[in-house]
């Protein structure tokens, strides 16, 4: 089992923790992680782009000239796609880009992402992340103390703590998440994954 040092908010080592091999000690599966990242980014796309077809462009109800005898090519409407200001042929319409991923692949991707952070020494376990007041300065000091200052960091907590969330909100590159809201993209995108000790046991409970 991977063995990790547990720090407090001042950066002092207070204990050790044994991480589950089934969650934090597997061989990372790049295919599963890539699939989940693509799925996450696809789901973020709004898909609201829309063009007007020839039936939606105003005007063009009248045939511009008679069918035969003019020397022109036959035309039925000045709003056909080949005309200036005509409708768009086969243009984009609102759509959803999201696609579903198999549940087993989701679990494998999450465990792979967590294990990759352990392998790259980018996982930091903190004994308890708690704030007595809304104070960004205190959060910055904690990040400096545990070696995560000036880096993209993801702070994972076992439950909602408004003071921690608000205190971290103004720090560039720092995000907060709960055990049930973490995703593969955010884990891989951060330089340091900071997890509260209680959150570690909850993650193991869910994914082991």
Q: What is the pLDDT of residues 50-92, one digit of tens each?
A: 999 999 999 988 999 999 999 999 999 999 999 999 999 999 9
Q: Sketch the domain layout of the chain as residue ranges.
A: 3-46+100-207, 51-91
Q: What is the pLDDT of residue 102?
A: 95
Alpha-carbon gap, residue 73 to 63, rounded angstroms: 12
- The CATH class given to the 3-46+100-207 domain equals alpha beta
* Average of per-residue pLDDT values in the chain: 94
Is residue 2 pLDDT above 80, yes or no? no
Is residue 1 pLDDT above 70, yes or no? no
Q: Which two three-digit tokens encode residue 178?
A: 């709960």
Is residue 42 pLDDT above 70, yes or no? yes
Q: Which two three-digit tokens encode residue 37?
A: 């990242």
Alpha-carbon gap, residue 170 to 173, rounded angstroms: 9
Residue 162 class from Cβ within 10 Å (0-12 exposed, 13-18 middle, 19+ buried)?
Answer: exposed
Tell me phi and psi for residue 2, to 5 degrees.
-65, 135
Alpha-carbon gap, residue 18 to 5, rounded angstroms: 9
**Which DSSP string do the residues of 153-190 spell out, in sequence order?**
EEEEESS--HHHHHHHHTSTTEEEEETTT--HHHHHH-
H or E element: which one contains 38?
A: helix 30-44
Q: What is the rounded average pLDDT of the residues 150-175?
A: 94
Q: What is the rounded average pLDDT of the residues 126-155?
A: 93
Q: What is the pLDDT of residues 106-139, one digit of tens each?
A: 999 999 999 999 999 999 999 999 988 999 999 9
């Amino acid at each position: 089992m991977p063995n990790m040092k547990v720090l407090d908010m001042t950066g002092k080592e207070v204990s050790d923790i044994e991480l589950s091999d089934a969650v934090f000690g597997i061989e990372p599966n790049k295919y599963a992680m890539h699939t989940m990242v693509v799925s996450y980014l696809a789901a973020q796309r709004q898909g609201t782009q829309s063009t007007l077809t020839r039936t939606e462009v105003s005007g063009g109800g009248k045939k511009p000239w008679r069918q035969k005898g003019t020397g022109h090519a036959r035309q039925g409407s000045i709003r056909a796609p080949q005309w200036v200001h005509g409708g768009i042929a086969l243009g984009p319409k609102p759509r959803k880009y999201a696609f579903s991923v198999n549940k087993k692949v989701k679990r494998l991707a999450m465990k792979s992402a967590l294990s990759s952070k352990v392998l790259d020494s980018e996982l930091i376990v903190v004994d308890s992340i708690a704030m007595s007041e809304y104070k960004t300065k205190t959060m910055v000091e904690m990040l400096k103390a545990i070696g995560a200052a000036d880096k993209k960091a993801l702070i994972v907590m076992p439950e909602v703590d408004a003071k921690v969330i608000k205190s971290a909100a103004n720090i560039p590159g720092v995000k907060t998440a709960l055990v049930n809201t973490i995703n593969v993209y955010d884990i891989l995108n951060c330089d340091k994954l900071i997890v509260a000790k209680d959150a570690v046991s909850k993650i193991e409970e869910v994914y082991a």
